């Protein structure tokens, strides 16, 4: 099943929003884990279980950070796909093949070859 360019762009935009939302959630979980770890390790003289709380906080922070890193990479990958779709839709220079920016040009801004017949 082939999607139109507009449908592909809309799908990529939705996936980008979802990846950014999950990236933020991973960041929040990481911050919560850091807070729990600090609270656990700073109260070792008050409670016997605070070391366990600190360790749990470190595990939560590590999990949140890994979620954050994963979805930031997913986000960047989809941004790259969107950028490549945008560059493919631009007309290429007949001499060097690079995508020409929008507008009317007499010469290619990259190689200087004439664009007029």
Question: pLDDT class for 112, splitting at 50, 70, 90?
Answer: confident
Rounded CA separation 109/29 (Å): 47
In tens, the pLDDT along 2-54 reads 667 778 878 888 999 999 999 999 999 999 999 999 999 988 778 778 899 99
Report field, pTM of the whole predicted structure over 0.85: no
Helix (H, G, I), strand (E, B) or coil at 99: strand
Closest listed residue to residue 83, CA positions, set 2, 30, 13, 36: 13
Cβ neighbors of 3 (< 8 A, separation 6 or more) are: 11
User: What confidence tens digit (pLDDT) does each residue in 81-107 have?
Assistant: 888 776 665 677 878 877 777 667 777
């Amino acid at each position: 099943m082939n999607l139109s360019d507009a449908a592909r762009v809309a799908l990529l935009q939705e996936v980008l929003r979802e990846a950014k939302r999950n990236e933020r959630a991973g960041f929040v979980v990481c911050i919560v884990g850091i807070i729990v770890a600090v609270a656990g390790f700073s109260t070792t003289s008050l409670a016997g279980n605070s070391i366990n709380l600190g360790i749990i906080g470190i595990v939560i922070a590590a999990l949140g950070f890994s979620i954050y890193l994963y979805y930031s990479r997913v986000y960047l990958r989809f941004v790259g796909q969107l950028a490549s779709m945008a560059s493919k839709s631009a007309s290429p220079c007949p001499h060097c093949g690079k995508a020409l920016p929008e507008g009317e040009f007499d010469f290619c801004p990259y190689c200087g070859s004439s664009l007029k017949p």
